[in-house]
């Protein structure tokens, strides 16, 4: 209840303690010899004032830091001031306004009673008998600081400084007068009241005065600067008015005012402007009319208004397209999987039903260069009847390139997305954002999030460009992102992307696309007609196989452009009128072949099998070689293999070893021979489990010394129990086998459903064997091998050996060592 003083208090010795009522002060601190006016509202305090005021009885006034309305008991400081009531007036709400005069310091030792008000036992404070030696110097310092404060802050009266000078003879009274009169915190005033030692009191007083001086100086500087700025603005306004009159007399045209009027007219006549855009543009137009055309700020403001009003605010095309018509356009403009087109049609149907808004994830196309990502986006834009925008974000490393630069910067501009929309003139185009894999190479998360803020349909309805400064609605923009592979997508984008993988084209599809889309565009681009330049399917096939190695059509397009340029040169020189490119003269256009495709082996061999693999350039034939040699039963792998492929080889080796009896392999051979498995093209990294069945067949062939059929290609993952699991890239793998002249393909049973996307010609010529267990592959590909007959023959031979042992038991008892040695030989 009593807050003890931190300093040691000199108490005047006395035989008894005086008892006085205690009045807690909430809004001030009373000092000896000073007056304090307070408002009293609590019932117990009103009783105290009534009793003390009527009888002029003294009481103790002590500062109470507790909050009004607190449920706990009232607390007050140990050091207070003995005071008397000098005036009482009525206050609002039944309260009273009381003026109190402080008499002298007292120390509250204990609380005697709490009803009807707090009464405490107090002791008097013993004053210092001798003044400190440097007290006058301290008073001079206080006087100097007070003089500076009075000069800076007009709220302090100069009379206070005169009162201090009049009380120089009594340093205690002078310190109390300063502490009471100046704007110190109540805690600071209470600390000064509790400081009895004069030297320490003046030291603390100077500290608080210096803080007040600093505040007053800061406030004075601010006031001075504000007054100066106001005066300068008034002076500029006056001069501007004079200049206006002078220009009128000179007959000048007031071009800035006409420009501002034009902008106001544009604001008024532009439909669909949001209210916040109208308000911002109006403010800037009024500001523009007050600027001189020669000032730099005029050009900045005018450029900003041009950008603000040129944006397509609410300029959208109706979503009145027919889904059947959209499907026809997609089919005619893009050659690709039916499932992909159905997925796009589903998204467009949702967009139509929602009136052009779709809060689903952003469409992301994944595929190698030339697989038709841009073609799909163009087809969607054409089908919807909307503008098509194609922007690249490759190399962007700063947020300002996406969200613009603030107007205060030199050369500030909006971000790339807002600039593209201004050029398109509509707020609902189809926007293809390319090179996501080259975006933000430094992987700064703030840059990733700035782009995601623009393309994420959940939050882009109020996209804020730093230059425009007003939210722009991007929710109706059909964003499509493109990237080469899934691994290159920044992790912040993955949860908000709907992934659509574009498979690579096989040879037949490349020929169809080239004849239907690529060649007509290239001939038109180079000024050549169809009758002047002719290609055959066989020639296109050779170009694809010998001059390109890719999943898409970019390299093929470049090779065809070389041919078109040479023909264009000859046409410009008028040396010929028509050209036919054949296999014989192809090298004269493109040079010698760049790639030599793999070919099937001519004869069955031991330890070599044809596997099919998926690569970034499409499907490819991959021959896996194996041999055995004297060793310790180890398995050696070469060919730049990944961890998954090495584990698959180990699993295949273990399975073959477990089936040694069935394959006719002596179990001891696995401990006496090492097996070396090699994948050619060692410079190319290889990984994945799909070569498991091929490796298993190679190991079985090497250990059993049986040749493998050379007219069968195979793929599939193997387990330790001999099951064949499904793998991916079936379309590309089967096409690679067909391209190399292998028309027998062994693949997992579970992949049978993946063959529906293959061309009919490949399905008609290729014979498929669907594997459930790898034993089926042994029976299919290992020549001179029939598991059942071999097992019966082995059992029969074992029975004959057992019978011979019974007839002629082996014994060496009684024979010489030489005889035993000859017998063993």
- Let me know if 690 is a catalytic residue: yes
Query: Quick check: 438 and 394 in contact, CB under 8 A?
Result: yes
CA distance linking residue 694 with residue 537, whole number of Å: 33
CA distance linking residue 472 with residue 477, whole number of Å: 11
DSSP string, 123-188: EEBPPPSS--TTHHHHHHHHHHHHHHHHHH-TTS-HHHHHHHHHTTT-HHHHHHHHHHHS---HHH
- Within the chain, what is the greatest distance between any pair of CA atoms? 148
CA distances (Å), origin 781, targets 188, 601, 774, 775: 100, 14, 11, 10
Query: Per the structure block, which two tokens stand in for 272?
Result: 């669909």
Query: Quick check: 691 and 611 in contact, CB under 8 A?
Result: yes
Beta-carbon contacts of 350 under 8 Å, excluding residues fewer than 6 positions away, are: 358, 360
Rg of the chain over all Cα atoms, to the nearest angstrom: 49
The position carrying tokens 């089919």 is 331
The Cβ of residue 624 has, within 10 Å, a number of other Cβ atoms equal to 24
> Residue 77's beta-bridge partner residues?
3
Query: Quick check: 429 and 388 in contact, CB under 8 A?
Result: yes
Query: Quick check: 725 and 750 in contact, CB under 8 A?
Result: yes
CA distance linking residue 82 with residue 74, whole number of Å: 19
The Cβ of residue 792 has, within 10 Å, a number of other Cβ atoms equal to 11
DSSP reduced 3-state for 758: coil
Residue from 779, 612, 621, 770 nearest 697 by CA: 779
- List the catalytic residue out of 26, 96, 373, 733: 733
User: DSSP class of residue 752?
Assistant: G
CA distances (Å), origin 159, targets 153, 154, 155, 489, 555: 14, 12, 12, 76, 95
CA distance linking residue 720 with residue 650, whole number of Å: 10
User: DSSP class of residue 14?
Assistant: -
- List the catalytic residue out of 690, 701, 731, 735: 690
Query: Quick check: 723 and 746 in contact, CB under 8 A?
Result: no
CA distance linking residue 337 with residue 503, whole number of Å: 9
- Residue ranges of the alpha helices (H) in 251-295? 255-269, 275-289
The angle formed by the CA atoms of residues 589, 590 and 594, to the nearest 5 degrees, is 160
Residue from 719, 761, 713, 709 nearest 613 by CA: 713
Query: Quick check: 64 and 204 in contact, CB under 8 A?
Result: no
Query: Per the structure block, which two tokens stand in for 815?
Result: 């024979």
Residue 368 buriedness (CB in 10 A; 0-12 / 13-18 / 19+):
buried
User: DSSP class of residue 496?
Assistant: G
CA distance linking residue 810 with residue 820, whole number of Å: 11
Beta-carbon contacts of 323 under 8 Å, excluding residues fewer than 6 positions away, are: 345, 348, 349, 352
φ/ψ (deg, to 5) at 463: -70, 125
DSSP reduced 3-state for 359: coil
Query: Per the structure block, which two tokens stand in for 4?
Result: 């003890």
- Residue ranges of the alpha helices (H) in 728-816? 730-739, 760-765, 774-781, 787-807
Q: Which residues are marked as active site?
A: 690, 733
């Amino acid at each position: 209840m009593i807050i003890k003083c931190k300093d040691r208090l000199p108490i005047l010795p006395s035989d008894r303690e005086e008892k006085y009522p205690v009045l807690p002060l909430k809004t001030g601190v009373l000092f000896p010899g000073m007056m304090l006016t307070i408002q009293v509202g609590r019932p117990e305090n009103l009783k105290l004032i009534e009793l003390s005021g009527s009888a002029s009885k003294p009481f103790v006034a002590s500062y109470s830091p507790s909050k009004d309305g607190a449920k706990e008991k009232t607390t007050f400081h140990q050091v207070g001031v003995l005071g008397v009531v000098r005036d009482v007036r009525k206050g609002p709400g039944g309260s009273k306004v009381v003026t109190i005069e402080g008499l002298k310091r007292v120390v509250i030792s204990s609380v005697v009673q709490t009803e009807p008000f707090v009464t405490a036992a107090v002791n008097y404070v013993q004053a210092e008998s001798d003044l400190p030696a440097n007290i006058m110097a301290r008073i001079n310092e206080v006087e100097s600081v007070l003089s500076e404060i009075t000069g800076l802050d007009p709220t302090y009266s100069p009379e206070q400084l005169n009162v201090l000078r009049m009380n120089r003879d009594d340093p205690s009274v002078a310190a109390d007068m300063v502490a009471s009169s100046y704007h110190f915190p109540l805690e600071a005033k209470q600390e000064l009241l509790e400081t009895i030692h004069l030297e320490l009191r003046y030291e603390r007083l100077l500290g608080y005065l210096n803080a007040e001086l600093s505040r007053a100086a800061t406030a004075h500087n601010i006031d001075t600067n504000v007054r100066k700025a106001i005066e300068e603005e008034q002076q500029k306004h006056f001069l501007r008015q004079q200049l206006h009159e002078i220009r009128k007399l000179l007959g000048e045209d007031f071009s800035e005012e006409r420009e501002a009027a034009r902008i106001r007219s544009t604001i008024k006549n532009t439909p669909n402007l949001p209210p916040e855009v109208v308000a911002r543009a109006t403010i800037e137009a009024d500001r523009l009319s007050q600027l001189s055309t020669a000032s730099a700020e005029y050009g900045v403001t005018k450029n900003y208004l041009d950008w603000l009003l040129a944006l397509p605010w609410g300029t959208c095309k109706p979503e009145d397209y027919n889904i059947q018509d959209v499907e026809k356009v997609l089919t005619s403009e893009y050659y690709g999987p039916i499932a992909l087109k159905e997925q796009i049609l589903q998204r467009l149907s949702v967009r139509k039903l929602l009136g052009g808004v779709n809060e689903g994830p952003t469409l992301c196309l994944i595929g190698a260069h030339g697989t038709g990502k841009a073609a799909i986006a163009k087809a969607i834009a054409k089908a919807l009847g909307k503008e098509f925008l194609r922007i690249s974000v490759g190399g962007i490393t700063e947020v300002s390139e996406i969200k613009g630069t603030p107007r205060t910067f030199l050369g500030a501009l909006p971000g790339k997305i807002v600039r593209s929309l201004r050029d398109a003139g509509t707020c609902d185009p189809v926007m293809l954002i390319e090179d996501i894999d080259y975006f933000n190479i430094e992987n700064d998360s703030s840059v990733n999030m700035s782009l995601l803020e623009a393309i994420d349909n959940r939050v882009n309805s109020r996209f804020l460009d730093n230059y425009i400064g007003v939210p722009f609605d991007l929710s109706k923009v059909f964003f499509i992102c493109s990237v080469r592979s899934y691994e290159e997508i920044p992790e912040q984008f993955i949860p908000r992307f709907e992934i659509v993988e574009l498979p690579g084209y096989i040879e037949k599809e490349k020929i169809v696309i080239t004849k239907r889309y690529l060649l007509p565009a290239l001939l038109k681009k180079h000024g050549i007609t169809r009758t002047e330049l002719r290609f055959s399917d066989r020639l296109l096939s050779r170009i694809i196989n010998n001059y390109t190695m890719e999943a898409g059509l970019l390299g093929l397009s470049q090779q065809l452009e070389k041919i078109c340029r040479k023909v264009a040169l000859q046409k410009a020189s008028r040396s010929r009128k028509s050209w036919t490119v054949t296999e014989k003269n192809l090298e004269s256009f493109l040079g010698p072949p760049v790639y030599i495709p793999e070919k099937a082996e001519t004869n069955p061999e031991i330890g070599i099998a044809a596997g099919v693999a998926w690569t970034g350039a499409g499907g490819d034939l991959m021959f896996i070689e194996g041999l055995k040699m004297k060793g310790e039963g180890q398995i050696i792998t070469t060919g730049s293999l990944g961890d998954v492929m090495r584990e698959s080889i180990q699993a295949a080796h273990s399975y073959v070893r477990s089936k040694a009896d069935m394959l006719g392999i002596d179990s001891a051979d696995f401990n006496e021979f090492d097996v070396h498995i090699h994948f050619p093209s060692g410079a190319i990294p290889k990984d994945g489990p799909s070569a498991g069945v091929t490796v298993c067949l190679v190991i079985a062939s090497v250990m059993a010394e049986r040749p493998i059929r050379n007219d069968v290609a195979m793929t599939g993952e193997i387990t330790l129990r001999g099951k064949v699991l499904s793998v991916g890239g079936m379309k590309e793998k089967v096409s690679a086998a067909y391209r190399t002249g292998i028309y027998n393909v062994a693949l997992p049973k579970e992949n049978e459903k993946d063959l529906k996307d293959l061309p009919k010609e490949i399905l008609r010529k290729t014979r498929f064997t669907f594997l459930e267990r790898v034993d089926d592959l042994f029976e299919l590909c290992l020549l001179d091998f029939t598991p059942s007959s071999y097992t019966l023959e082995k059992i029969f031979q074992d029975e004959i050996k057992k019978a011979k042992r019974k007839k002629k038991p082996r014994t060496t008892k009684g024979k010489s060592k030489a005889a035993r040695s000859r017998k063993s030989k």
